[in-house]
Amino acid sequence: MAGLQPVRGTRDILPEESRQLRQVADTARQIASRFGFEEVATPIFEFSDVFKRTLGDTSDIVTKEMYSFTDKGGDEVTLRPEGTAGIARMLISSGLAQNLPLKYFYQGPMFRYERPQKGRYRQFHQIGVELLGVAEPVGDVEIIALGVALLDALGLSSNTRLELNTLGNTASRTVYRDRLMTYLEDHRDALSEDSQARLARNPLRILDSKNKGDREIIVGAPEFSDSLDSESREFFAAVQDGLTALDIVYSLNSRLVRGLDYYCHTAFEFTTEALGAQGTVLAGGRYDGLVAQMGGPATPGVGWAAGIERLAFLADQRIEPVRPIAIIPVTQEMEDSALVMANDLRKNGFAIELAYRGNLSRRMKRANRLNARLAVILGPDEAAKGTATLRDFDSGTQAEVPLDALADHLAPYR
């Protein structure tokens, strides 16, 4: 047993990191609440079709990265690699479409089999928001503004930049896809093996290739903006006007794409140079065709997701644990009284550490190691007088306090 280690790409989350991750999730939850988003949770695993139908049978996530298995009932299930598909499935299976618009926030673990790297693991944690039932450009603006508010609250605004693009409506996308395929066919032999495989089934994904040779070819590819019809241009102009009205700074990135057909109009990413090659911190876009593709009613949607570990790494905030109050019985006979006192104080909202063993000196040293704010010392002499001794670890002072007034004396440290 001594040689057992966590599975590659996973790791134990110890208290200090746990506090940092919780701080990110709690901050996101608070910001999302201000925008009217309510928290939901979907299962950690779904029927595999939920992801195959939404991410595409030929996508890298489905073919290379999903943790899929057959359960004991013979069903093919998959640990969720992302959150949006589960939210869309929930909308359909729970009959929520009649309640549109809906605004959801989620957080929790995701799973992808990929090469572990800085800030990314095979089991990782995401936060995300989904706005369902709003077809207007203001929905895109609000979703992006929520992302800006979160990054600002985490102190990351100066380390990230917003990149923006439009994928247009279905008609514009079809026109662009044809133009892109014509261009790429002329360079087929020079494309990487992966890009050659994508050429027929998903050519837009080639624009996102990290292969050096592919990148050189992509430089000369047609611009998406040249294929946009008037509706698409007007929608994107409205999004940009909304961002400008909110003083949200952005840059246009014509190569920012989403390879799946249910994505449309706005695509955006907040990126940083602090994470190496994988610089995306928060990413999202509009996916008006997703719910219908899954068999539900036509439902516009827009949202984003972000990795909690990446945000915590960038924020690099040391979150100190709550400083407790230590209850220290001087003798074994006082331990029951200490236990009752600790329980009563916890019920009243105090963080309490109980000194379990050892003489007075040893128990005081342990309280110091725990960075306790105060010690409440219970000894036979104090018990006889109905008092306790309070020691302040910061000032070194101590005073005797009546037990019936103890909670009042401790109130500033609740």
Residue 266 shares a structural domain with residue 391: no
Note the pLDDT tens digit of each residue in 66-120: 888 899 999 999 999 999 999 999 999 999 999 999 999 999 999 998 776 665 6
Q: Would you say residue 311 lies in a domain?
A: yes
Residue 264 shares a structural domain with residue 355: no
Q: Would you say residue 45 lies in a domain?
A: yes
Q: Would you say residue 308 lies in a domain?
A: yes
| 53 alpha carbon, distance to own chain's centre | 23
Residue 266 shares a structural domain with residue 364: no
Note the pLDDT tens digit of each residue in 185-210: 888 888 888 888 887 777 887 887 77
The per-residue pLDDT string of the chain (414 residues; one tens digit each, 9 = 90 and over) reads: 456 898 888 899 999 999 999 999 999 999 999 999 999 999 999 999 898 877 765 556 666 788 888 999 999 999 999 999 999 999 999 999 999 999 999 999 999 987 766 656 899 999 999 999 999 999 999 999 999 999 999 999 888 999 999 999 989 988 988 888 888 888 888 888 888 888 777 788 788 777 888 888 888 888 888 889 999 999 999 999 999 999 999 999 988 887 676 789 999 999 998 776 558 899 999 999 899 989 999 999 999 999 999 999 898 877 788 889 988 888 888 888 888 988 999 998 899 988 778 787 888 888 888 888 988 988 888 888 888 888 888 888 888 889 888 888 888 887
Residue 116 shares a structural domain with residue 160: yes
Q: Would you say residue 224 lies in a domain?
A: no
pLDDT of 367: 84
Residue 302 shares a structural domain with residue 386: no
For the chain, how many structural domains are there in total?
A: 2
Q: What is the 3-state secondary structure (H, E, C) of the chain?
A: CCCCCCCCCCCCCCHHHHHHHHHHHHHHHHHHHHCCCEECCCCCEEEHHHHHHHHCCCCHHHHHHCEEEECCCCCEEEECCCCHHHHHHHHHHCCCHHHCCEEEEEEEEEECCCCCECCECCEEEEEEEEEECCCCHHHHHHHHHHHHHHHHHCCCHHHCEEEEEECCCHHHHHHHHHHHHHHHHCCHHHCCHHHHHHHHHCHHHHHHCCCHHHHHHHCCCCCHHHHCCHHHHHHHHHHHHHHHHCCCCCEECCCCCCCCCCCEEEEEEEECCCCCCCCEEEEEEECCCHHHHCCCCCCCEEEEEEEHHHHHHHHCCCCCCCCCEEEEECCHHHHHHHHHHHHHHHHCCCCEEECCCCCHHHHHHHHHHCCCCEEEEECHHHHHHCEEEEEECCCCCEEEEEHHHHHHHHHHHC
Residue 34 shares a structural domain with residue 95: yes
**Domain end residue (candidates: 266, 282, 315):** 315
Residue 335 shares a structural domain with residue 307: no
Q: Would you say residue 210 lies in a domain?
A: no
pLDDT of 365: 85
Give the CATH number of the domain where residue 369 resides: 3.40.50.800
Residue 259 shares a structural domain with residue 386: no
pLDDT of 385: 87
pLDDT of 328: 85
Q: Would you say residue 122 lies in a domain?
A: yes
pLDDT of 318: 79
Residue 380 shares a structural domain with residue 261: no
Full domain range(s) for residue 126:
15-169+229-315
Q: Would you say residue 193 lies in a domain?
A: no
pLDDT of 40: 98
pLDDT of 355: 77
Residue 239 shares a structural domain with residue 383: no
pLDDT of 118: 61
Residue 20 shares a structural domain with residue 148: yes
Q: Would you say residue 263 lies in a domain?
A: yes
If you search the block for the tokens 């073919």, which residue do you land on?
63
**Domain end residue (candidates: 287, 315, 343):** 315
Helix axes 84-93, 48-55, angle to 10 degrees: 110
pLDDT of 101: 96
**Domain end residue (candidates: 315, 344, 359):** 315
pLDDT of 57: 54
Read off the pTM. Answer: 0.86
Residue 65 shares a structural domain with residue 142: yes
pLDDT of 270: 96
Give the CATH number of the domain where residue 131 resides: 3.30.930.10
